[in-house]
Chains A and B, each alone.
Chain A
């Protein structure tokens, strides 16, 4: 897929980060378009965090360059800081300040006029469901609420792009759902987001494009469905028969079937051609006197795909 660089809010070209003899990032290039969620995925130590830290000025760039809205992240670092919002993996706002005070302080540091600061803080607190807790100290919030406030703080100055490092890390299912909903809403409002996360499934659901980084290099990049079709033609069919499931070996013998696993009364059929295998399964059931009780077709799991891509790289 060709990308028009003019349409990109962030352009990274050949970024290299060396710590002594260790090369943490080795020539990483990508761009993030306006209003898209771009996921940077990779195993621990792959170079995700070093890449993001270079982009936001918390680590020096060894080689290469990056621009945000056309401004060089090194030469124009003060201007760049006005254009970026950063949500670190730790919720690191100020413990003794209230929710409102934390946002107002961030607003002050970005030079937002007083009246506007209050207006934006109120708007963000309401958006993240924290208005009722505005006078509570940061240290008294739950982990999920701390996360929400940390994201709110990154948005107070209306940045062109927000870097989010593991935004849902350590949160329960409900909090994660709420937060992903908010992140999707931010995208609808036109905010670009660079997301780094270990949660590949969630990233594949929410990101417009993803890049998979391993050993400091980008090994795959594209829309989630593009990666699925490029790296795996496999599909997964979950099927159950009545009165009982046939032997795994019988199903494995069907055309197109790569392998079959049985788990909790369900056969998980991995196939190279899902449509043809569904037909074969129906024919098989009819011919052997089985009834198809459950049939569910889905693409290859995001985590499996991720492991495959990383493994191949």
Chain B
């Protein structure tokens, strides 16, 4: 168990060296969420304390999922993913290793937006420690979701397209820009099916002390549970990928 954890860290370390400077990671993982946040925050003039956590969630979500797309789909395409299957490690260790590298980029992506929010939002975060915890939890869940999706993609050339088909609707349906509470019932239902909704609610509560549709106990717990489920499913898919 412990040795698997250590080896998951080694996989993450390797991925960081290998993929952090790849165009896909930089453009979709770092530049896009920052520029998007900048555009939204500056356009609105005085940034509301409501918008900032949404932008932070968006940044960590794009950062982590972009990294997993690079680190998994690319490796599967060139055949080096198979190398991981030849090491004496469990499938969950591989999924965790991939998630950890995505996690790191997710956290890194959120930092410029946090700084931006610190500069533009008139009030500081309500619960700084809880905000740190929410970012860790939210990035973990985003990472494992990204890893799960990456293993489901069959055609590597369609990776970013597929990721964006999934991510872009989430941007508008997951409480990032528009409060879910203002949605009609059907969209509200759809919103509750999206992991980013819970992630955003957790970050929002930690940042602003308020929430839209879900109390923090629920959003934090569901975010954690989803992360664990995605990780487990990813390990199952890795195992099933062996013909």
* A308 located at the interface, meaning its Cβ lies under 8 Å from any Cβ of chain B in the complex: no
**Which of A6-14, A90-98, A183-191 participates in binding chain B?**
A90-98
Chain B residues, CB < 8 A from A111: 3, 7, 88
With both beta carbons as reference points, the residue of chain B lying nearest to A163 in the complex is identified as B86
Of residues 66 through 113 on chain A, the ones whose CB sits less than 8 Å from some CB of chain B are 78-79, 81-82, 84, 86, 88, 90, 92-97, 101, 105-106, 108-111
* A34 located at the interface, meaning its Cβ lies under 8 Å from any Cβ of chain B in the complex: no
Given A57-B85, A97-B18, A110-B88: A92 and B80 interface contact (C-beta under 8 Å): yes
* A56 located at the interface, meaning its Cβ lies under 8 Å from any Cβ of chain B in the complex: yes
Q: Mark B213-243, 1 if CB is under 8 A from A, else 0.
A: 0000000000000000000000000000011
Q: What is the distance, in angstroms, from A86's C-beta to the closest C-beta of chain B?
A: 5
Given A57-B86, A111-B3: A93 and B17 interface contact (C-beta under 8 Å): no
Tell me whether A58 and B85 are in contact (CB under 8 A).
Answer: yes
How many residues does chain B have at the interface if contact means C-beta atoms less than 8 Å apart? 23
Q: Mark B69-80, 1 if CB is under 8 A from A, else 0.
A: 000000000111
Q: What is the distance, in angstroms, from A55's C-beta to the closest C-beta of chain B?
A: 11
* A59 located at the interface, meaning its Cβ lies under 8 Å from any Cβ of chain B in the complex: yes
Given A101-B17, A111-B7: A94 and B85 interface contact (C-beta under 8 Å): no
Number of A-B contacts (CB under 8 A): 65
CB < 8 Å: which of A19, A92, A108 contacts B243? A19
Chain A residues, CB < 8 A from B80: 92-94
* B163 located at the interface, meaning its Cβ lies under 8 Å from any Cβ of chain A in the complex: no
What size tier do the contact residues of chain A reach? 20 to 34
CB < 8 Å: which of B10, B17, B242 contacts A108? B10
* B38 located at the interface, meaning its Cβ lies under 8 Å from any Cβ of chain A in the complex: no
Tell me whether B7 and A109 are in contact (CB under 8 A).
Answer: yes
Q: What is the distance, in angstroms, from B159's C-beta to the closest C-beta of chain A?
A: 17
Tell me whether B85 and A92 are in contact (CB under 8 A).
Answer: no
* A60 located at the interface, meaning its Cβ lies under 8 Å from any Cβ of chain B in the complex: yes
Chain B residues, CB < 8 A from A92: 78-80, 82-83
Given A96-B18, A97-B17, A108-B7: A57 and B242 interface contact (C-beta under 8 Å): yes
Chain B residues, CB < 8 A from A19: 243
Given A58-B242, A88-B79: A94 and B87 interface contact (C-beta under 8 Å): no
* B154 located at the interface, meaning its Cβ lies under 8 Å from any Cβ of chain A in the complex: no
Tell me whether B10 and A109 are in contact (CB under 8 A).
Answer: yes
CA distance A84 to B87 in the complex (A): 9
CA distance A310 to B85 in the complex (A): 33
Chain B residues, CB < 8 A from A96: 17-19, 21
Leading 10 A-B pairs by shortest Cβ distance: A109-B87, A81-B88, A92-B79, A108-B10, A92-B80, A96-B18, A78-B88, A82-B88, A90-B79, A105-B14
18 contacts between A and B (CB under 8 A): A58-B86, A58-B242, A59-B242, A81-B87, A88-B83, A90-B78, A93-B80, A93-B83, A94-B80, A96-B17, A96-B18, A97-B18, A108-B10, A109-B7, A109-B10, A109-B11, A109-B84, A110-B88
Hey, which bits of chain A sit against chain B, CB under 8 A?
19, 56-60, 78-79, 81-82, 84, 86, 88, 90, 92-97, 101, 105-106, 108-111
14 further interface pairs, Cβ-Cβ under 8 Å (given A58-B85, A88-B83, A109-B88): A56-B86, A57-B85, A58-B86, A59-B242, A90-B79, A92-B82, A92-B83, A93-B80, A93-B83, A101-B17, A108-B7, A109-B84, A109-B89, A111-B88
